[in-house]
Copies of this chain bind each other. A is one copy, B any other.
């Protein structure tokens, strides 16, 4: 663009930049560590798998995609060795998607990167401002996250 030097950006757009930056950092780091076969879409599904496994339908709902899409992505994650499907002992129709060993490695690395990036941001903002930012975002979440 060539104009509007002083435009007041909308709050949602300002929120978008850090989210995008984190995703980019995360995928770059995972790829560098050899996990170069996981796509962002797979990641968004994988990130929602609970400690004891999660049903496909629940993953789909939380990730805001259809269960067909979720199933497709879980197929890929399973083929790549990140997750496995086990029967749900409490429901014969259902299966639980669980993290496999390789999946747990990715999660551990991703958590580490997240903390590093967040530490950079906190260093840039200062502790006080970072804390205020977090508090404000947590309150904003009350009205922006319907799956809270």
List the interface of chain A (C-beta within 8 A of B). Answer: 1-4, 9-23, 48, 50-52, 54, 58, 62, 114-115, 117-118, 120-121, 124-125, 129-130, 132-145
Contact = CB atoms under 8 A, between A and B. Distances in A.
A117 B144 CA distance: 10
Contacts of A124: 139-140, 142-143
B11 A15 contact: no
> How many copies of this chain?
2
Contacts of A4: 51
Nearest to A1: B50
A138 B131 CA distance: 15
Contacts of A50: 1-3
7 contacts: A1-B62, A11-B118, A14-B137, A18-B137, A22-B144, A121-B140, A132-B133
Contact of A19 (B19, B58, B114, B125): B19
Contacts of A145: 17, 21
B114 A54 contact: no
A84 B17 CA distance: 29
Contact of A125 (B1, B114, B134, B139): B139
Nearest to A2: B50
Contacts of A141: 14, 17-18
A19 B10 contact: no
